[in-house]
């Protein structure tokens, strides 16, 4: 099993996603002799999972059923154990696009955190690219290495435990892009410039506070970065539902019906447009925004090394 190489069959040691519904799923490490409890009953790894195809419908001991999905960076973002606050797919998608990442790209990241963005970056630059990720916290760095090894992507990532503001990324004139998610990104702009390739490299900084953005932009200008711009991505969900509205009485519909001999009591006419007119309502689909929406997560500041 690998997050960047799809496999058809569930094997011992794989990380799989148990899907109960769009709002209910969780990861599980497949192991011989192990069982997993769900609200629909027990899943026995040896008989219910190992050897089955990903995407299979598995019946639990109580008669309910779940789907077993192959992990992807998007599914992992929704189910990973939180060691820090993470980035979600809304921000990750624009980061990947604006940094102009592709297979073969070299990317530097700080900090690693829970590895949500890291998995997406690895999947984007695979199979020939590489991610250099720096984490200040030793335990989080060790846990990240363990997860990358379990997920079959350790050959695509190098995890370093150090302070990026003092020691940099450990590479020079190599990276196509740099991403910063640290409390004081302005202190790492110089190291980011050194890590980027000679010219044209892209940088992104994620900060929750506008004061951090201001200081980061000043540092970027000081180090000669150009095309500096800041974005805020807000996700607004619409609920598609059926709405019934009354048809206004324009005084002509009744006359048209009588002149054409329309009989609303005839069952064969119940589904016709004239039947809706006679009843005085019409139904149609409409998209209505939810009353509550996800608010501010952070500001994304992008720039180019000139």
256 annotated as ligand-binding:
no
172 annotated as ligand-binding:
no
81 burial class (0-12, 13-18, 19+ CB within 10 angstroms)?
exposed
33 burial class (0-12, 13-18, 19+ CB within 10 angstroms)?
exposed
Q: In what order do the strands lie in the sheet with 24-29?
A: 24-29, 15-21, 65-69, 57-59
Q: What is the DSSP string of 1-19?
A: --SSS--SB--TT-EEEEE
116 annotated as ligand-binding:
yes
Q: In sequence order, which residues have a C-beta less than 8 Å from that of residue 6 and are 6 or more positions away?
A: 70
91 annotated as ligand-binding:
no
SS3 116: helix
61 annotated as ligand-binding:
no
| CA separation for the pair 140, 144 (Å, rounded) | 6
Q: Please name the residue that has the structure tokens 């154990």.
A: 81
β-pair partners for 9: 53
190 annotated as ligand-binding:
no
| CA separation for the pair 144, 25 (Å, rounded) | 22
- Report whether 177 contacts 105 (CB < 8 A): yes
| CA separation for the pair 194, 155 (Å, rounded) | 24
Binding positions for S-adenosyl-L-methionine: 114-117, 135, 163, 181
Instruction: Write out the binding residues.
Output: 114-117, 135, 163, 181
């Amino acid at each position: 099993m690998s997050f960047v190489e799809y496999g058809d069959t569930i094997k011992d040691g794989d990380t799989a996603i148990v899907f109960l519904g769009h709002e209910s799923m969780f990861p599980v490490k497949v192991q011989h002799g192990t069982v997993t409890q769900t609200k629909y009953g027990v899943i026995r790894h040896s008989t219910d999972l190992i050897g089955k195809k990903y995407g299979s419908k598995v019946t639990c001991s109580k008669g309910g059923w779940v789907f077993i999905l192959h992990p992807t960076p998007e599914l992992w973002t929704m189910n990973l154990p939180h060691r820090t606050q993470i980035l979600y797919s809304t921000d990750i998608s624009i980061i990947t696009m604006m940094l102009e990442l592709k297979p073969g790209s070299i990317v530097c990241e700080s900090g690693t955190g829970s590895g949500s963005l890291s998995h997406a970056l690895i999947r984007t630059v695979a199979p020939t690219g590489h991610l250099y990720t720096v984490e200040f916290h030793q335990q989080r760095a060790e846990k990240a290495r363990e997860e990358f090894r379990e997920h079959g992507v350790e050959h695509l990532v190098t995890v370093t435990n150090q302070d990026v503001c003092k020691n940099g990324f450990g590479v020079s004139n190599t990276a196509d892009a740099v991403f910063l998610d640290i409390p004081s990104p302005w202190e790492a702009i110089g190291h980011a410039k050194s890590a980027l390739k000679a010219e044209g490299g892209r940088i992104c900084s994620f900060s929750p506070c506008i004061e951090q953005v201001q200081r980061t932009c000043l540092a970027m200008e000081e180090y000669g970065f150009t095309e500096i711009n800041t974005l805020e991505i807000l996700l607004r969900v619409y609920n598609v539902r059926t709405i019934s509205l009354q048809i206004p009485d324009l005084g002509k519909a009744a006359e048209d019906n009588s002149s054409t001999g329309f009989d609303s009591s005839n069952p064969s006419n119940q589904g016709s447009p004239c039947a809706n007119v006679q009843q005085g309502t019409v139904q149609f689909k409409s998209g209505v925004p939810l009353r509550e929406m996800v608010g501010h997560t952070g500001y994304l500041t992008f720039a180019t090394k000139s």
